[in-house]
Amino acid sequence: MQNDIAYHLILASASPARRALLAAAGIDAEVMVSGVDESVVEAEDAYTLSLGLARMKARTVAADLAADPGALVLGCDSVLAFEGEIFGKPANAEESVKRWMMMRGRSGVLHTGHHLTGLVSGKQAEGVGTTVVHFADITDEEIAAYVATGEPLNVAGSFTLDGRGGAFVDRIEGDPGNVIGLSLPLLRTLLGEMDISITQLWRRAEEAG
């Protein structure tokens, strides 16, 4: 493990949920939104798409940064695979309602791509976290009320686990953080592939206080 460099994480994502997950784990990430056009990435399956989008976000942000040996750029993107279809963020409320009519009482697989790149070292590591999500058999009224809050319009698959949508998920198989948008165990693994310990990203005790 490399111990002589002060590492810090740059999150190439606008997701407040991802940043909150990192903060709760003792990692203060700087947010730099990539602004990429996600529609240009095409893939035949949700697994490949999530990783391609994460890679594009991380590399786009990294390309705009000045050389810093301690900078690590993390790109993440979540996509839901549901009965052969790929569900990213819904285009509008109508599409969100339609999705929930299909998903209720059934299960989907949430894939979150992670791509980590070292700004100066050039080292890269990537992987996909996969979690099975079992949706509750909710009513038409609950769907309408949920979509009306606006929450499902900004997230992959039209649901969240850490918000109002958590009441409509019966159970999951896998890492809950992955469903929220970032898998901490996977991040630890990717850092390890780059000879970095996740503990090197933890904020110091004096900073936490």
Rounded-to-integer distance, Cα 118 and Cα 71, Å: 6
Task: Please report, as a single letter, which amino acid is at residue 60.
Answer: T
Q: Give CA separation, 43 vs 54, 124, 129, 133, 158, in Å.
A: 13, 21, 17, 22, 20
> Residue 60 to residues 105, 117, 120: CA-CA distances in angstroms?
39, 11, 15
Q: Which ranges constitute the DSSP H helices of 64-157?
A: 93-103, 140-148
- The single residue of 4, 45, 64, 77 carrying the catalytic annotation is 77
Angle at 110 between CA 94 and CA 131, to 5 degrees: 145
Measure the CA–CA gap between 105 and 134, rounded to whole angstroms. 7
To the query of whether residue 175 is one of the catalytic residues in this protein, the response is no
Active site residues: 77
